Structure 1
């Protein structure tokens, strides 16, 4: 797997490993062949469904992590739904039954934030268990 993609994905997979998350079957199967400015792979769920993920190479790490977190979050919602589990991953601690957190860049860091309050909750990769 391309180094920048693996580095951007690492903190997101760490958060997915926390209670309430779901681990993907990550496969180094590029789906954006022909575009030298991107790196891509596939995430597969236990039901066999898959989704491509990608980043633009050379961007700041926080930008790459946030872009990838949005894609992984979309995959996680579908994977959790197919398992019959709550789909608001990662759940907002202020509104746990209402919505998931949103990935944003804040002061050069990739963070999870409450989309309603705009409050930073955690750096991506450091969600509390």
Structure 2
């Protein structure tokens, strides 16, 4: 897997491993025919897949947030297919309402409450 994609994906995969998350079958299958991007596929237990990609040469926080948004979209679908709550990662302030949103804050990739604009955790350091 392309180095920048693997580095950006690492903290997100760590967060997916938390109790409310779901683990994908990550496959190093490039699907973008653009030398300025790196891509792969995430597959769920039901066999459905979704492509993920980043633009190369961007700041790491920008890449992580862009990828977190795509992985979050995959996770919502995967959790739905398993009959589980789809608000991953759940907002601690509104646990039955909405998931956290990935954002760049002062050069860092974080999960934040989209309603309160409150930073909850750095991506890759979600509490269990």
Measured against the shorter chain, the TM-score band is over 0.9
Mapped pair 1:56 → 2:55: yes
Structure 1: how far apart are the matches of 2:13 and 2:116? 25
SS of corresponding position for 1:93: coil
Map Cα deviations across residues 100-122 of structure 1 (whole Å, 9 max, x no partner). Answer: 00000000000000000000000
Unaligned runs of 5+ in 1: none
TM-score normalised by the chain length of structure 1: 0.99
Aligned residues: 128
- 1:51: Cα distance to partner? 0.1
2:127: which partner in 1?
128
Q: How many Å separate the matches in 1 of 2:30 and 2:21? A: 24
TM-score using structure 2 length: 1.00
Distance in 2 of aligned mates of 1:128 and 1:30: 32
> For residues 62-81 of structure 1, what are the structure 2 equivalents within 5 Å?
62-81=61-80
Deviation at 1:54, TM superposition (A): 0.1
The alpha carbon displacement at 1:17 in A equals 0.0
SS across alignment from 1:20: coil
RMSD: 0.3
Q: 1:27-42 alignment to 2 at 5 Å? A: 27-33=27-33, 35-42=34-41
Residue aligning to 1:22 = 22
Cα distance per residue 1:40-76 (max 9 Å; x no partner): 0000000000000000000000000000000000000
3-state SS in 1 of match to 2:14:
helix
Distance 1:116 1:19 in 2: 23
Please identify runs of 4+ aligned residues in structure 1 that moved more than 4 A: none
